[in-house]
Amino acid sequence: AQSVAQPEDQVNVAEGNPLTVKCTYSVSGNPYLFWYVQYPNRGLQFLLKYITGDNLVKGSYGFEAEFNKSQTSFHLKKPSALVSDSALYFCAVRDPFKAAGNKLTFGGGTRVLVKP
């Protein structure tokens, strides 16, 4: 069975500093990996995905993520955090086999607080 772990419940960072949100996964085969962000009282917004190819993936709002197969990690990064980046971030994995459909397995989420 596939699983995703986000080891940090909360990450605090000063505005302008680099932001990293960690994610590790466990899945058989080559995973499809995703990052979503959730603002208060809102649904999930797609940030970026890794399907295949270049290990460094660039996404929305200046975010990027690096896929590391040997460490089974997919950490989310932003070079310079903004106060408006304060939100709940979810890492997710999807089984690439068609029979699994579009089902996403999510990590527990990491709350990011960017202080001015």
Partner 1 sequence: KAGVTQTPRYLIKTRGQQVTLSCSPISGHRSVSWYQQTPGQGLQFLFEYFSETQRNKGNFPGRFSGRQFSNSRSEMNVSTLELGDSALYLCASSTRIGSYEQYFGPGTRLTVT
Of the two residues 41 and 70, which places its CB atom closer to partner 1 in the complex? Answer: 41
Whether 88 contacts 110, CB under 8 Å: yes
Give me the phi and psi of 56, to 5 degrees please: -100, 120
* Beta carbon nearer to partner 1, 34 or 81: 34
First to last CA, the chain: 41
Residues paired with 114 in a beta bridge = 13
Which CB, 70 or 102, lies closer to partner 1? 102
Give residues in contact with partner 1 (CB under 8 A): 32, 36, 41-46, 49, 51, 90, 92, 98, 100-109
Smallest separation (angstroms) from partner 1 to the CB of 66: 19
